[in-house]
Homo-oligomer: A and B are copies of this chain.
Amino acid sequence: MKSLDVRRKILADNEAAAGRLRERFRDAATLVVNLISSPGSGKTSLLEASVPRLQSELKVGVMVGDVATDRDAQRLSKLDIPSLQLITGGSCHLDARLVDIHLEVEPRLQDLDVLFIENVGNLICPTSYDLGEDYKVALLSVTEGSDKPLKYPGIFSRSTATVLSKIDLLEYTNFDLEIVRQEIRMLNPNCRIFETSAKTGQGIESWCEWLQSCLAQKRTPS
C-alpha cells in the first residue's frame, strides 16, 4: 500500500469513528466544540474564563489533548467540571478513535450540555481530523500576527467561529484587526469572530452567549 493510500485509509477510519461519535453526541444532545490553535494561543485560558460563566446553568466538560504532560488538565481541574487529559505520545493531533476510547471509560463526560475538546497545539494537522464535533473553533492570539488566516487557510476556512485572543496585548503589537477580519471572511464568509481577553474578560460574555445559542439551536426539534 502506498503512502497516499495509507493516509486515505487513516482519514477514512477517522471519518467512520467520527460518525459514531456524532451519533452519540446527538443522542446525548451535547454541543461539542473542537478548539484548534497554535501552541500558546490561549485555549486553556479561554476555557478558564468561559467555564465559570457557563457552569451555573449548564453541565460542561473538557477533553484536552497534548503531546506530553497533563499540565492543561491540572489547570482545568481547578474548575469544578469533569476534565480528562489525552496524551497523544508524539502524535500531532487528536483523532476520533482516541476521543471515543476515552469517552467510553469516562461516564462523567457522557451526559453533558457542552463538551469542549481542546486539541493539541497545532494550527495544521488537527484540521483534517473530524472528532464528531458540531463546530471547529479556531483561536488566534494577536501576538501571532495578522498574516495568519491566509497562511493557514485550512483551519480558518473550516472553523465556524474564530476567537481572537489576548486582545489586551493589541496595542503592543502591529496586529491589524481589520485585515484579519477581511482575510477570515474571504476564506469563510459566515465565520463568527470574537475579540477576547481571558485576562480582562473582554468578549467572553459574547462568546458564551454564542455557545448557549448554538446549544439551543442543536436542541430545537427540526
A-to-B contact residues, CB < 8 Å: 1-3, 6, 9-10, 38-40, 66-69, 71, 90, 92, 120-125, 141, 143-145, 147-148, 150-154, 166, 168-169, 172
Contact = CB atoms under 8 A, between A and B. Distances in A.
Contacts of A152: 39, 67-68, 121
25 contacts: A1-B1, A3-B6, A38-B39, A38-B123, A38-B144, A39-B151, A40-B141, A40-B143, A40-B144, A67-B151, A67-B152, A67-B153, A67-B154, A68-B151, A69-B147, A69-B150, A71-B147, A90-B124, A90-B154, A92-B124, A92-B125, A122-B124, A124-B125, A125-B125, A143-B169
Q: How many monomers of this protein are in the complex?
A: 2
Contacts of A3: 6, 9-10
B124 A67 contact: yes
B92 A151 contact: no
